[in-house]
């Protein structure tokens, strides 16, 4: 992982392979890069004057410094209009710049966030740092051929004359957050034959115990003993044993009720007997992304030594067809006694989450947030840019929405009115696991709601958990690690 350093040397004097210069669209003030421009004989100002570089958001250009600076290259990167600036714009611009620098062969890169905006310097530093680090992530474990030379950015240097203490702290925080995101991405990107329920549980515990998280794994015997009939109905068709991963981190005041995080951990979703079409089915290895987000969040919580009480629950299983699999029409009983008519075995996420949401009640939680790649319908509605949010508590919903906006992991709320519950009433059981043709993401959430009795938010991350082509410059192809930055922001805001 890219390491970061804060250095009180002026940017024009820092020695690195490349220097990043941020430029707003139509900006008059050149004070941030004047010294660099001067050493380059006015190259930057002439590019701007001749409209060869305009500062449009994420526009980038690498210029050679011809030995006039302590660096080989200068990377210009556009920030767009000053009035549209946000820490997310900076996160993306820093990522874009780091990637351009890396493509030009740089291994060390220097940048400065001074004088960019009146957004608090900690926030700017954290965003820029996240952009640089996350942009350098690649999942290369299985590419044994032609994949050795490129290192990417090994070191990022923040030139910071004022507020260096604050910036150093923010940069360290960003590093810890990114390690959680990277853990989540690594778990997501593993193929289904490697990342089985047992493997993920083992990986989670090995990593989390190192940072002071208590970790327990329940197997088939305990799952049956807890009468998790809904979870088991999904798991029983697989040759892989299901696991129920429990994480606990109780470093907050004794009197504080815990926040419980729940993540869907379907390590591969074939659809079961209601089997999916074969085109694109490989993508269903990402169906454990909610679980990966929870595991990554605990890793960062441990690294940051958050003074919080948090529990995490991840039901892990495959969803397979076969002689032992559930069949459409089967009726199963969840651990709270509710009966469920399984009309479609491909609506399995809600079945495994039901028992996890019931288990969460043991903690007498102040709130519960679940993350799940739950419905294709959420992708129809929101595409890859936005997570769907559903809640039974408006105050909590708004708090999560706010963390979404401030981290760039934006969420959008859907209604969860009582009327929708009509759509999942079964003729033969307490509830059925699918609604009709319409409002698929809402009926899925309405199903989950039946198993909650605490303030709760459900995040449908089916669209945002992975991307084939990166949708931001700080993403890489594959898992995005969505949820880690959002949840950490939520927890740090003392909620």
Q: What are the residues binding Mn ion (CB under 5 A)? A: 269, 346, 348
Q: How many CA atoms lie within 13 A of 124 on its CB side?
A: 19
Q: State how far the Cα of 400 lies from the Cα of 389, in Å rounded to an integer.
A: 9
| Sign (positive or negative) of CA dihedral 167, 170, 175, 181 | negative
Q: How far is the CB of 203 from Zn ion (least distance, A)?
A: 20
Q: State how far the Cα of 205 lies from the Cα of 214, in Å rounded to an integer.
A: 8
Nearer to ligand BES, 172 or 275 (CB): 275
Choose which of 72, 182, 348, 409 interacts with ligand BES (CB under 6 A): 348
Q: How far is the CB of 484 from Mn ion (least distance, A)?
A: 23
Number of H-type helices and E-type strands within the chain: 14, 20
Instruction: Report whether 39 contacts 28 (CB < 8 A).
Output: no
Closest CA to 11 of 156, 169, 166: 156
Q: State how far the Cα of 126 lies from the Cα of 129, in Å rounded to an integer.
A: 5
Query: Per rule CB under 6 A, is residue 344 in the interface with ligand BES?
Result: yes
Q: Give the x/- contact pattern for ligand BES in 422-441, rule: CB under 6 A.
A: ------------x-----x-
Query: Per rule CB under 6 A, is residue 377 in the interface with ligand BES?
Result: yes
CB-based closest residue to ligand BES:
376
Q: How far is the CB of 416 from ligand BES (least distance, A)?
A: 17
Query: Per rule CB under 6 A, is residue 373 in the interface with ligand BES?
Result: yes
Neighbours of 72 (CB within 10 A): 18
In this structure, what DSSP letter does residue 383 have?
A: T
285-304 positions binding ligand BES, by CB under 6 A = 287
143 catalytically annotated: no
439-468 positions binding ligand BES, by CB under 6 A = 440, 462
Instruction: Report whether 223 contacts 251 (CB < 8 A).
Output: no
Q: Which two tokens stand for residue 478?
A: 């594959």
350 catalytically annotated: yes
Query: Per rule CB under 5 A, is residue 269 in the interface with Zn ion?
Result: yes
Nearer to Mn ion, 248 or 346 (CB): 346
Catalytic residue, chosen from 276, 361, 384, 492, is 276
Q: State how far the Cα of 233 lies from the Cα of 229, in Å rounded to an integer.
A: 6
Q: State how far the Cα of 133 lies from the Cα of 181, in Å rounded to an integer.
A: 10
Nearer to ligand BES, 213 or 320 (CB): 320
Instruction: Report whether 213 contacts 247 (CB < 8 A).
Output: yes
Catalytic residue, chosen from 350, 410, 449, 485, is 350
Size of the site for ligand BES (CB under 6 A): 15
User: Applying CB under 6 A, which part among 140-148, 309-317, 370-378, 467-475 lies near ligand BES?
Assistant: 370-378
Residues in contact with ligand BES by the rule CB under 6 A: 269, 287, 344, 346-349, 373-377, 434, 440, 462
Which residues are part of the catalytic machinery?
276, 350
Residues in contact with Zn ion by the rule CB under 5 A: 266, 269, 287, 349
């Amino acid at each position: 992982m890219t390491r970061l350093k804060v250095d009180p040397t002026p940017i024009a004097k820092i020695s690195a392979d490349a220097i990043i210069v941020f430029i707003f669209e139509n900006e008059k003030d050149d004070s941030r890069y004047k010294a660099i421009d001067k050493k380059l004989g006015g190259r930057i100002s002439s590019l701007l004057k001749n409209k060869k570089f305009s500062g449009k958001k994420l526009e980038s250009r690498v210029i050679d410094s011809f030995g006039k600076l302590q660096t080989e290259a200068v990377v210009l990167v556009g920030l767009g209009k000053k009035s549209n600036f946000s820490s997310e714009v900076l996160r993306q611009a820093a990522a874009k710049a780091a990637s351009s620098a890396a493509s030009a062969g740089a291994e060390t890169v220097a940048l400065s966030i001074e004088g960019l905006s009146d957004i608090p310097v900690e926030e700017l530093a954290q965003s820029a740092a996240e952009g640089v680090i996350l942009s350098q992530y690649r999942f290369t474990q299985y590419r044994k051929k032609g994949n050795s030379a490129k290192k990417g950015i090994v070191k990022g240097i923040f030139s910071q004359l004022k507020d260096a203490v604050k910036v150093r702290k923010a940069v360290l925080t960003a590093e810890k957050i990114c390690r959680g995101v990277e853990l989540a991405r690594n778990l997501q990107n593993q193929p289904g034959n490697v990342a089985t329920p047992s493997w993920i549980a083992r990986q989670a515990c090995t990593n989390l115990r190192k940072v002071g998280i208590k970790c327990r794994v329940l197997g088939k015997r305990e799952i049956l003993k807890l009468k998790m009939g809904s979870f088991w109905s999904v798991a029983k068709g697989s040759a892989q044993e299901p696991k129920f991963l429990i994480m606990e981190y109780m470093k907050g005041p004794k009197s504080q009720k815990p926040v419980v995080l729940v993540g869907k951990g379907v390590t591969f979703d074939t659809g079961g007997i209601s089997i999916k079409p074969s085109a694109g089915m490989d993508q269903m290895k990402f169906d454990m992304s909610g679980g990966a987000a929870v595991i990554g969040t605990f890793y960062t919580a441990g690294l940051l030594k958050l003074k919080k009480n948090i529990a995490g629950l991840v039901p892990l299983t495959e969803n397979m067809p076969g002689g032992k699999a559930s069949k459409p029409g089967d009726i199963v009983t969840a651990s709270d006694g509710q009966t469920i008519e399984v009309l479609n075995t491909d609506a399995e996420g809600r079945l495994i989450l039901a028992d996890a949401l019931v288990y969460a009640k043991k903690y007498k939680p102040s709130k519960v947030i679940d993350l799940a790649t739950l419905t294709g319908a959420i992708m129809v509605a929101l595409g890859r840019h936005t997570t769907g949010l559903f809640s039974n508590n408006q105050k909590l919903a708004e708090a999560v929405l706010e963390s979404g906006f401030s981290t760039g992991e934006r969420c959008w709320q859907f209604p969860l009115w009582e009327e929708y519950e009509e759509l999942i009433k079964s003729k033969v059981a307490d509830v059925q696991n699918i609604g009709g043709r319409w409002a698929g993401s809402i009926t899925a959430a309405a199903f989950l709601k039946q198993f909650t009795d605490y303030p709760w938010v459900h995040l449908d991350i089916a669209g945002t958990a992975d991307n084939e082509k990166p949708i931001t410059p700080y993403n890489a192809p594959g898992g995005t690690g969505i949820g880690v930055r959002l949840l950490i922001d939520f927890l740090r805001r003392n909620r």
